[in-house]
């Protein structure tokens, strides 16, 4: 057995996938192949070390053992003197190794935990901004595996209940020794459930559940946003023969709003104002998400693109108190339809302009003149 860490030998991190490990091995093996170096003994030794490392890391079970126990997992045949897993000879030590690796799937009696639990379900729920603001209750239709009504979830046609599978002893898996390793696979008799039924229900083939459509009322809290995930416990698929059900996960999607754009708890509205209001000041009314009008005061001389913030008129805070802000983005509108009188008024105004009325315009042309002189 070679010295050093297998991952370092191949030059890959411990998180590397099979493709990365294979590519690293091929590159390293090609570079140090003995035939390319005139039979150099050092290169030959390194080449053998690469093969040893790759032989372990390419195999998921060997790699799992190596990650957990290091090279000690492959010393002394898996048992005997010097084996940290205890003496026993033969492959008993390796059986213990894989029992500890895969034992998290088994309970102390050798039965699988949660093997019959129902699967979780996903439901995409679309909401309006007003519904997300106030919170709402929705009735949705879910099509999934539910308790079989003919057999009441027992899985059998009569009163007989499921029996522990005699092939796997209720574990749902059987073990077979293949050379160096003890391999686990699903039990062929019970198909991994750990139980068998002598007289299965024809409606559900003994599972105790069948496809069903049901309506479900769900409560949506105020303040949810795009991507919010809501867990509804126990409303997923039913488990096999009375086992626990999975959960239902609602994923929120927001409809586009006619007025507001949302950024967190803030609501942004683009508000056009006349150029006279922008010049002289005034106020505008914006319809709030709660249905109440929000008065936005416009300061004299405001420029297009500037924003005004109204505290506490935005979205509800999810699982909290208070509200965000409403932000009005001002767009100064230039009039396109003027009467003759209005044109005369504006012409008179232009004749009285000194350049001080619009400092940004004045500054721009001064810079332009300076640039041309330069």
Kindly list the averaged pLDDT for each block of 10 residues, start to end, along the chain of length 374.
Answer: 78 88 87 74 83 88 81 55 37 41 41 64 95 96 90 79 81 75 77 77 84 93 95 90 88 95 96 95 95 95 95 94 95 93 94 86 81 78
Q: Is 190 annotated as a binding residue?
A: yes
Ramachandran angles phi, psi of 231, nearest 5°: -95, 130
Boundaries of CATH 2.60.260.20 in the chain?
A: 260-336
Q: Is 201 annotated as a binding residue?
A: yes
Boundaries of CATH 1.10.287.110 in the chain?
A: 6-105
Strands 163-164 and 229-232, sheet pairing: unpaired
Kindly provide the residue ranges of all beta strands, DSSP E only, lying in 133-265, ordered along the sequence: 136-147, 163-164, 173-178, 181-186, 195-196, 209-220, 229-232, 248-254, 260-263
Residue 13's nearest CA partner among 21, 23, 25 is: 21
Q: Is 151 annotated as a binding residue?
A: yes
Containing 126, the helix (H) or strand (E) segment is: strand 121-127
Q: Which of 1.10.530.10, 2.60.40.10, 3.40.50.1000, 2.60.260.20 is the CATH number of 260-336?
A: 2.60.260.20
Range 6-105 classified under CATH 1.10.287.110:
yes
pLDDT of 325 reads 97
Q: Is 168 annotated as a binding residue?
A: yes
pLDDT of 108 reads 38
Q: Is 40 annotated as a binding residue?
A: no
């Amino acid at each position: 057995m070679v010295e050093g860490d297998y991952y370092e030998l191949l030059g890959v991190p411990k998180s590397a996938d099979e493709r990365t490990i294979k590519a690293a091995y091929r590159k390293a093996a090609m570079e140090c192949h003995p035939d390319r170096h005139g039979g150099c003994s050092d290169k030959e030794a390194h080449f053998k070390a690469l093969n040893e490392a790759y032989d372990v890391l390419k195999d998921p079970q060997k790699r799992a053992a190596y990650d957990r126990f290091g090279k000690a997992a492959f010393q002394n045949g898996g048992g005997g003197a010097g084996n940290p897993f205890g003496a026993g000879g033969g492959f008993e030590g390796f059986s213990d190794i894989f029992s500890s690796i895969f034992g998290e799937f088994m309970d102390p009696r050798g039965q699988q935990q949660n093997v019959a639990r129902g699967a979780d379900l996903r439901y995409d729920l679309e909401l309006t901004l007003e519904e997300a603001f106030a919170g709402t209750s929705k009735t949705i239709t879910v099509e999934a595996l539910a308790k079989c009504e003919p057999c009441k979830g027992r899985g059998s046609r009569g009163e007989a209940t499921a029996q522990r599978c005699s092939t796997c002893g209720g574990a749902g898996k059987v073990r077979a020794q293949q050379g160096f390793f003890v391999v686990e696979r699903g039990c062929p008799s019970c198909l991994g459930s750990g139980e068998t039924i002598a007289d299965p229900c024809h409606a559900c083939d003994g599972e105790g559940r069948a496809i069903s459509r049901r309506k479900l009322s769900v409560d949506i809290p105020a303040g949810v946003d795009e991507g919010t995930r809501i867990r509804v416990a126990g409303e997923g698929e039913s488990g096999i023969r009375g086992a626990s059900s999975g959960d239902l996960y609602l994923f929120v999607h927001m409809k586009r709003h006619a007025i507001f754009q949302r950024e967190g708890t803030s609501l942004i509205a683009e508000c056009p104002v006349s150029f006279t209001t922008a010049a002289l000041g005034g106020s505008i009314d914006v319809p709030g998400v709660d249905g109440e009008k929000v008065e936005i005061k416009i300061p004299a001389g405001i420029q297009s693109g500037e924003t005004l913030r109204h505290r506490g008129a935005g979205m509800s805070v999810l699982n909290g108190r208070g509200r965000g802000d409403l932000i009005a983005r001002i767009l100064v509108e230039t009039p396109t339809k003027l009467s003759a009188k209005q044109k005369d008024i504006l012409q008179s105004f232009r004749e009285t302009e000194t350049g001080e009325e619009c400092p940004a315009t004045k500054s721009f042309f001064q810079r332009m003149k300076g640039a041309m002189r330069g």
